[in-house]
């Protein structure tokens, strides 16, 4: 099976489980895990809160001030959405959990408006 067939198979399994988010959101979560792991001294299991914060940081790195809009376009508006995607990826066999890991670990880690609510100045005009 080539990579494209594998990706199509995985996305079909996600859709079959009622994947509620844009396919790119699931790929974003997988990329965020690698982003986070590359910043650790050694690869290890990460908590839901660590991953949620890494999703914020990675989104800001990738999309800048548009980060909340891109995530919102994909259907991601709360940290709980990251948890749902992670556990869907677990169900389809792409990720594994450890005992004690729960989808609720992602609940209200931060509020999107506060986490992405940067104020910027452009030509002397302040905006949010």
pLDDT in tens, the chain (128 residues): 566 676 677 778 777 777 689 989 999 999 999 999 999 999 999 999 999 999 999 999 999 888 999 999 999 999 999 999 999 999 888 899 999 999 999 999 999 989 988 645 455 555 54
Domain ranges, ordered by start, for the chain = 3-127
- pLDDT for res 8: 75
- pLDDT for res 119: 46
pTM: 0.84
Whole-angstrom distance, CA of residue 79 vs CA of residue 84: 9
Phi-psi region of 108 (alpha: psi -120 to 50; beta: other; left: phi over 0): left
- pLDDT for res 12: 81
């Amino acid at each position: 099976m080539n990579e494209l067939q594998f990706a199509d198979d995985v996305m079909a399994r996600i859709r079959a489980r009622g994947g509620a988010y844009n396919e790119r959101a699931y790929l974003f979560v997988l990329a965020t895990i690698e982003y986070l792991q590359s910043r650790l001294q050694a690869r290890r299991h990460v908590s839901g809160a660590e991953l949620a914060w890494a999703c914020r940081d990675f989104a800001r790195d990738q999309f800048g001030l548009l980060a909340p809009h891109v995530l919102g376009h994909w259907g991601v508006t709360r940290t709980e959405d990251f948890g749902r995607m992670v556990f869907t990826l677990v169900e389809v066999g792409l990720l594994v959990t450890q005992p004690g890991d729960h989808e609720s670990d992602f609940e209200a880690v931060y509020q999107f408006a506060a986490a992405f609510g940067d104020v910027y100045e452009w030509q002397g005009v302040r905006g949010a």
